[in-house]
Amino acid sequence: MSRAELVEINFDGVIGPSHNYAGLSPGNLAATKNRGETAHPRAAALQGIAKMRANLTLGLTQGVLLPHARPDRQWLAALGTGYDHAPPHTQAQALSASSMWAANAATVSPAPDTLDGRCHLSVANLATMPHRSHEWPETLAQLRLAFADAAFAVHAPVPPPFGDEGAANHMRLAATHDAPGIEIFVYGIAGGPFPARQHPDASAAVARRHGLDPARTLFVQQSEQAIAAGAFHNDVVAVANGNVLFAHEQAFEDKAHFYDLLRRAMPEVEIVEVPAARVSLADAIASYLFNAQLVTLPSGEMALILPSEARATPSVWNWLQEHVAGNGPIRQLEVVDVRESMANGGGPACLRLRVVADPATIDPRFLVDYARLDRIAQVVEAHWPEEIPAGAIADPALIARIEGARRALFEALDLPELSN
Ligand code: SUG
């Protein structure tokens, strides 16, 4: 396979029919604040689909990962219960639609970076949060199906207790997507009152398993201040694409050392730092400025795909307008509405997993064009619950509807039942 065929593909998690606001993630300020609000799964999924359509219109290659079987009956059985008899917090943990945040599905090292020339994917164990700790078996099943070709190596998760949150704590810089890159693993040690979710030993294990070149691999500590301010994942305070690192001034614990190592490993790197004096950490996190998709368009220019909350935050929008008006590397701003996901602390970048690969090597059922997105939207319109109020998750009729909705989607996409 010639490297010219490698492109970046964004795999978005289709937002599942059980999307609700149970406030399950301490340290995730949006999710905690919106606990008990009424969620709108149908609108949420349609927002995600509209974002994917907009990406296609920008000329990007788009894929999907599918909602997991929820409630997770296998997980409940392992806990010695069925859904109906489980305590309310266990019901909420079994029902969460959190697999929508595909950035947490896996860490991906594209073929040009690895020793054996294959694209390596390590499924994340998400061990820190109970409601996310049982995502990995179905994620693994989906990835094994989508990336069954010999061009890929799909790894089971790093064993707990070494928490791994996948691509949300990983960045890649490369002159072009198909060139060897610098891979940056961002781990957490402390987060004030909140858990640091990415264990440094998990990052090191993933890098070893992927066969990365130590000279082109950096391990960097996320700042305690950022985690304490609600940046529970690095991708809430930094994002990389091509030769550009776009980060908040307070994203990293020892910024000077990290930038120094990075400039030595990649002299052409362009670091675009947003000073705290212009955009506070609080504004960056509330608006999800950095949880944007920084993408290279077919024209070669870079665009930033931002949540509408970024446009509504004056400090953020002013900084962005100045950057685009000046000579900065980000040339275009694209605003998307993913409000339902945002209210659970997941922005545009959380919803997607980036894989650099030849699309011809991927199971076509996981790739989408407009027609396939229309088909997904039809199933969502017909089957996804319009709303899930806080108290509704014990209702057996709602649960039956959620399970039927996912089944209808799998049938429409010609996918086999993967679990439960
Ligand atoms: O793990 N929210 C997710 C949001 C994940 C965002 N992902 C990235 N930044 N890449 C989380 O905190 C809330 C679900 C609830 O409370 O029901 C939640 O899991």
The predicted-structure confidence for 229-260, as pLDDT tens digits, reads as follows 999 999 999 999 999 999 999 999 999 999 99
| Residues 232 and 346 sit within 8 Å (Cβ to Cβ) | no
- Choosing from 8, 165, 253, 334, which is the catalytic residue? 165
Q: Is 119 a catalytic residue?
A: no
- Tell which atom from ligand 1 comes closest to the C-alpha of 236: 9
Residue from 124, 24, 183 nearest 353 by CA: 124
Give residue-wise pLDDT tens across range 257-278.
999 999 999 999 999 999 999 9
pLDDT number for residue 390: 85
Query: Using CA positions, which residue lies closest to atom 12 of ligand 1?
Result: 25
Query: Using CA positions, which residue lies closest to atom 6 of ligand 1?
Result: 346
Could you tell me the distance, in angstroms and rounded to a whole number, from the CA of residue 345 to the centre of ligand 1?
5
The answer for residues whose C-beta is within 8 angstroms of residue 354's C-beta and 6 or more apart is 8, 9, 10, 11, 108, 167
Helix ranges restricted to H, 245-304: 255-265, 281-287
Give residue-wise pLDDT tens across range 199-228.
999 999 999 999 999 999 999 999 999 999
- Reply yes or no on whether the pLDDT at 4 is more than 50: no
Q: Rounded to whole angstroms, how far apart are CA atoms 321 and 360?
A: 38
% of the chain exceeding 90 in pLDDT: 96
Using CB atoms within 10 Å of the CB of residue 202, give its burial: 0 to 12 exposed, 13 to 18 middle, 19+ buried.
buried
Give residue-wise pLDDT tens across range 164-178.
999 999 999 999 999
pLDDT number for residue 3: 44
Could you tell me the distance, in angstroms and rounded to a whole number, from the CA of residue 52 to the centre of ligand 1?
20
What count of Cα atoms within 13 Å lies in the side-chain half-sphere of residue 156?
4
Output DSSP code: residue 224. Answer: H
Q: Rounded to whole angstroms, how far apart are CA atoms 142 and 159?
A: 19
Dump the DSSP string for 38-66: PB-HHHHHHHHHHHHHHHHHTT-EEEEEP
Give me the count of residues in the chain.
Answer: 420
Helix (H, G, I), strand (E, B) or coil at 239: strand
Model-level pTM greater than 0.85? yes
Residue from 403, 394, 397 nearest 86 by CA: 394
pLDDT number for residue 102: 98
pLDDT number for residue 414: 94
Q: How many CB atoms lie within 10 A of CB 333?
A: 17
Give residue-wise pLDDT tens across range 105-139.
999 999 999 999 999 999 999 999 999 999 999 99
Q: Is 24 in the pocket of ligand 1 (CB under 6 A)?
A: yes
The pick from 10, 68, 101 for probing ligand 1's pocket by mutation, whose C-beta has the most ligand atoms within 8 angstroms, reads 101
Q: Is 131 a catalytic residue?
A: no
Residue from 62, 184, 167 nearest 104 by CA: 167
% of the chain exceeding 70 in pLDDT: 99
Q: Is 101 in the pocket of ligand 1 (CB under 6 A)?
A: yes
Find where tokens 């086999």 sit: 416
Q: Is 203 in the pocket of ligand 1 (CB under 6 A)?
A: no
What count of Cα atoms within 13 Å lies in the side-chain half-sphere of residue 77?
5
Task: Characterize the bridge pairing of strands 170-173 and 182-187.
Answer: antiparallel
Backbone φ and ψ of 394, nearest 5°? -90, -5
- Reply yes or no on whether the pLDDT at 420 is more than 70: no
Between helix 370-383 and helix 41-57 the angle, nearest 10°, is 170
- Reply yes or no on whether the pLDDT at 192 is more than 50: yes
Q: How many CB atoms lie within 10 A of CB 404?
A: 12
Q: Is 165 a catalytic residue?
A: yes
Using CB atoms within 10 Å of the CB of residue 109, give its burial: 0 to 12 exposed, 13 to 18 middle, 19+ buried.
buried
Q: pLDDT band at 419, cuts 50/70/90?
A: low
Mean pLDDT of 333-360: 98
Q: What angle do CA 397, 400, 406 make, to 5 degrees?
A: 140
Helix (H, G, I), strand (E, B) or coil at 172: strand
Q: Is 376 in the pocket of ligand 1 (CB under 6 A)?
A: no
Mean pLDDT of the chain: 96
Mean pLDDT of 305-317: 98
- Reply yes or no on whether the pLDDT at 345 is more than 90: yes
pLDDT number for residue 418: 81
Q: Where are the domains of the chain?
A: 3-412
Mean pLDDT of 317-340: 97
Q: Is 236 in the pocket of ligand 1 (CB under 6 A)?
A: yes
CATH code that applies to domain 3-412: 3.75.10.20
Could you tell me the distance, in angstroms and rounded to a whole number, from the CA of residue 169 to the centre of ligand 1?
13
- Reply yes or no on whether the pLDDT at 2 is more than 60: no
Q: Is 28 in the pocket of ligand 1 (CB under 6 A)?
A: yes
Residue from 76, 163, 93, 100 nearest 132 by CA: 93
Q: What angle do CA 185, 144, 358 make, to 5 degrees?
A: 70
Buried b / exposed e along 220-246 (16+ C-beta atoms within 10 A): bbbbbbbbbbbbbbbbbbbbbbbbbbb
- Choosing from 233, 248, 323, 383, which is the catalytic residue? 233
